[in-house]
Structure formats: structure tokens, C-alpha cells
Amino acid sequence: MDRRPIGVMDSGLGGLSVMRVLRDELPAESLTFVGDQGHFPYGTKSQAEIRRLSLAIGHFLVQQDAKMMVIACNTATGAALSTLQKELPIPVIGVIRPGAAAALSTGAHRVGVIGTDSTIKNGAYEATLHDLQPDVEVVSQPAQPLVSIVEHGQTGTAQAQLAVDKSLQVFDHQTVETLILGCTHFPFLRKEIQQKMGSNVRLVDPAFETVQQVKRSLAEQSLLAPEGNPFRRVNLYSTGRKEDLQRGANQWLGGRYNLCNHLDLEEE
Ligand code: DGL
């Protein structure tokens, strides 16, 4: 049994779409979340820069006594997963492999992936999907403008639907059976994306399979917190304005957290 927190990171509010599943599926676990809003967005940065920022957050989470790190960001997973696994003394889990596995478990042969510019350019989803199922056909589409729609609290607006319709136009001609929401901001646009894709296309949020992997990994290493853990805490940190993270947490975590603070990270 291990009461230490699970550390979670994203470039911004998107990581809350993974936090809400972690909280529901692992209710005894303490969670420490860092939203790197001071450096948002990651999707337009170089791989080296994303690695440097992710590593600084990883070191902070280790200082906070995290027992495991979850990279709740596809962009950072693509750029930095193997570096963080090498450099940090704790297990590190990303969202891309679980997302790819979840998509293939639907039995689809034509899979779409939407993500940030970086995630799509990096090709990690395509490579992982082919690794798991060599004959799968993949249609990848960057949808970077949708990240800001979520970060700036514009989900559920006509403008959000317009941006989704424009960003996903490629799927009018290249049909897919399953679409991976390959950016943790996108599950908050699920309604708009489903509206554009039509009800026949299955949307996959990698958070669910990722959290199953977290659960298995904690259990295998005897790192699970005791059931009903009375010391459980959900602590949130933003490297930007804490009010922005608070707004997102009030909307998407139902305001259920213990602390929300600003964090100054030492640059490496
Ligand atoms: N939420 C992130 C992802 O899953 C990155 C968004 C961004 O900062 O561009 O890729």
C-alpha cells in the first residue's frame, strides 16, 4: 500500500479530461496535477523544447513525492515519454499507446487520428497503430486551433462547432470508422466532434485505457493506495494564471479539489 500521489501533467486544461477519469476510477488515490499554462501551447513547439518542459515538470512531481507520473498530454507523450522513462526514478505512463490499443479494440480497419501539429508531425500514433496492427489504414489530421477553443472556455458555442467543422473537413472525403481524440483537450469538444463526424463514427478518448494501464501498473507494483484513504488529496498547479486552471477545474472536475496554486518551475 502506498499513499503517495500520482503525478499528472499537461500543457493546460486538457489534462483535466484524464484527471476526471483517474479520479472516478481510482477514488483512493491522491493526485498532483501540473498544467503548464505558462508555456501553452505545446503543439507548436519543437520536440526538444517539449522534452525540456516535460522533464522540468517530471522533476517537480518527483520532488512532490509522486509514486508514478502520467503524461496526460499526447504532444508531450510523443516527444518526451522515452526521455522521462529514462530520466525519472518513477514509472511514467503516456496516452498514445493506450489510445491506439483502445481504437483497435473497436475492430476498426480505418482509423482517424486528430491531434496537435506536433503529435501529427511526430507520427507516434501512426507508428504505434501500425505496430499493433500492420494492415490498419490511418488518416491523420492536425487540429491545433481546437486546443485554444477549449483552453479559452469556448466549448459549446457556435464558434466551437465552426472550428471543428473546418478542422475536420478532411473526413468528408476520407471516411473512418473510429476517430482517436489524440489531444487531451478534445474530449471537451466531444459533442461538436460527434456532430461533425456523424453518429456512425466511434470516438475514442485515450484517457480510459490509460487509466486502466495506471491501475494495472500500480497493482503489479503494490503501489495502490489503501481503499477509502482518508488522506487523499487532489492538488492542482498552474505555471500560468491559477484562476484559469480553477475555472477549468470548476467546470470539468465539478470543483472537487483541495488546492489550486500558481507554480514557478525552475527552467533546466
Ligand atoms: N493537450 C495536449 C495534447 O494532448 C497539448 C495541447 C497543446 O498544448 O498544444 O496534445
pLDDT per position as a tens digit, 24-75: 999 999 999 999 999 999 999 999 999 999 999 999 999 999 999 999 999 9
Give the per-residue pLDDT at 211. 98
Assess whether 189 and 250 both reside in one domain. no
Assess whether 126 and 71 both reside in one domain. no
Give the per-residue pLDDT at 265. 87
Assess whether 193 and 132 both reside in one domain. yes
Domain-terminating residue out of 185, 205, 225: 205
Assess whether 20 and 66 both reside in one domain. yes
Task: Quote the CA–CA distance of 145 and 167 in Å, as a whole number.
Answer: 8
Dist. CA 11 → ligand 1 center (Å):
6
Q: Is the pTM of this model over 0.85?
A: yes
DSSP assignment of the chain equals: ---PPEEEEESSGGGHHHHHHHHHH-TT--EEEEE-TTS---TTS-HHHHHHHHHHHHHHHHHTT-SEEEE--HHHHHHHHHHHHHH-SS-EE-SHHHHHHHHHTTT-SEEEEEE-HHHHHHTHHHHHHHHH-TT-EEEEEE-THHHHHHHTT-TTSHHHHHHHHHHTGGGGTS--SEEEE-STTGGGGHHHHHHHH-TTSEEE-THHHHHHHHHHHHHHTT-PPPTT-TT--EEEEESS-HHHHHHHHHHHSTT--SEEEE-PPPP-
Assess whether 195 and 212 both reside in one domain. no
Task: Confirm whether 1 is domain-assigned.
Answer: no
Dist. CA 255 → ligand 1 center (Å):
22
Domain-terminating residue out of 205, 228, 249: 205
Assess whether 33 and 154 both reside in one domain. no
Which residues of the chain are modeled with pLDDT < 50?
none
Assess whether 116 and 140 both reside in one domain. yes
Out of 147, 204, 252, give the residue to mutate to test ligand 1, the one with the largest number of ligand atoms within 8 Å of its CB: 147
How many separate domains does the chain show?
Answer: 2
- Phi, psi torsion values for 178, nearest 5 degrees: -135, 140
Assess whether 196 and 218 both reside in one domain. no
Give the per-residue pLDDT at 36. 98
Task: Confirm whether 179 is domain-assigned.
Answer: yes
**Residue of 95, 111, 160, 183 marked active site:** 183
Assess whether 160 and 256 both reside in one domain. no
Give the per-residue pLDDT at 83. 98
Give the per-residue pLDDT at 22. 98
Q: Whose CA is nearest to atom 9 of ligand 1?
A: 43
Residue span of the structural domain in which 33 resides:
6-95+208-262
CATH of the domain at 159: 3.40.50.1860
Cell 500514433, located at residue = 125
* Contact (CB, 8 A) for 198 and 161: no
Domain-terminating residue out of 186, 205, 224: 205
Give the per-residue pLDDT at 142. 98
> Would residue 183 show up in a list of annotated catalytic residues for this protein?
yes
Assess whether 199 and 101 both reside in one domain. yes
Give the per-residue pLDDT at 268. 56
> Would residue 73 show up in a list of annotated catalytic residues for this protein?
yes
Dist. CA 224 → ligand 1 center (Å):
28
Task: Confirm whether 38 is domain-assigned.
Answer: yes
